[in-house]
Amino acid sequence: MTRPLRLEFAGALYHVTSRGDRSEAIYRDDADRLAWLDILALVCKRYNFIVHAYCQMTNHYHVLIETVDGNLSLGMRQLNGQYTQLFNRRHQVAGHLFQGRYKAILVQKQGYLLELARYVVLNPLRARMVSSLGAWPWSSHHLLVGACKAPAWFDREWLLGQFGSTGNVAVQRYIRFVMAGIGRDSPLLGVNYQLILGDAAFTARYHHGPPHGAVRGISRTQRRALGWPLDEYRRHFPDRDEAIARAYFSTVYTMQQIADFFGISMRTVNRAVQKFEA
């Protein structure tokens, strides 16, 4: 099964979704939803996450997470794992709650976060679960409009700040902006390489040569979308050992694949990698 994106670095922003196994409900009642929010709060405090938007549906959730410390996978493991244990205990069931692992899209904050936040909170309306956003208490929309006090882990100021202030005028502008999004195409249609939502420069930065150690736990297919072909590494880096090391650090290729391409032994590849690991 394809694993989710784990391109992790300090300050990275993600659109994260996780769906129920066999499309079954992950929330059966309000107590489940409150429990999930409690666990999310603990995860945010422990891993220094900032939430910009979220929406609890029936068989899945959306959350926009900014990772101050570049540790998305650690926090998501606790969020989904701890909630699964609680859900199974409450409902006296066993086994997987979620369909595989979460999916995360790396998002460029400027120019994309605002549109995504609107998309996230509009989910209940698009699904015709309610006739108005105010009728759905299980999203961050009610935190933005001031229907209740925002918790410490939720960044209300950034989104409202895009409308000039954080006061009532900004709230009204935000509401008009959200409602204007009804019927618009999903911003996720602009995702590149199944992994990245951003402009050309942002996409290229992570499509070509992601930093050593930044990409972990994603499928080989997704990794190939991020990395250069091997002949590009050879062309861009005249020093053969550096080309080998950079190709390996991209996590796209195995040592055997690199050895076969360069016509050398795996031992030679390993020496080149060790040379640049420091």
Q: DSSP secondary-structure letter at 185? A: P
Mean pLDDT of all residues belonging to the chain: 87
Count other Cβ atoms within 10 Å, centred on residue 262.
18
Map out the domains of the chain as residue ranges. Answer: 12-190, 228-278
Which residues are paired to 223 by β-bridges?
Answer: none
Low-confidence residues of the chain: pLDDT under 70: 1-6, 166, 208-227, 250-252, 276-278
Cα-based distances in Å from 160 to 2, 118, 178: 36, 12, 12
Please state the pTM of the whole predicted model: 0.74
Based on its alpha-carbon atoms, the radius of gyration of the chain, rounded to whole angstroms, reads: 21
CA 13 to chain CA centroid, Å, is 7
- Give the CATH class of 12-190: alpha beta
State the burial class of residue 213 (Cβ atoms within 10 Å of its Cβ: 0-12, 13-18, 19+): exposed
Give residue-wise pLDDT tens across range 62-89: 999 999 988 899 999 999 999 999 999 9
Give residue-wise pLDDT tens across range 143-191: 999 878 899 999 999 999 999 876 899 999 999 999 999 999 999 999 9
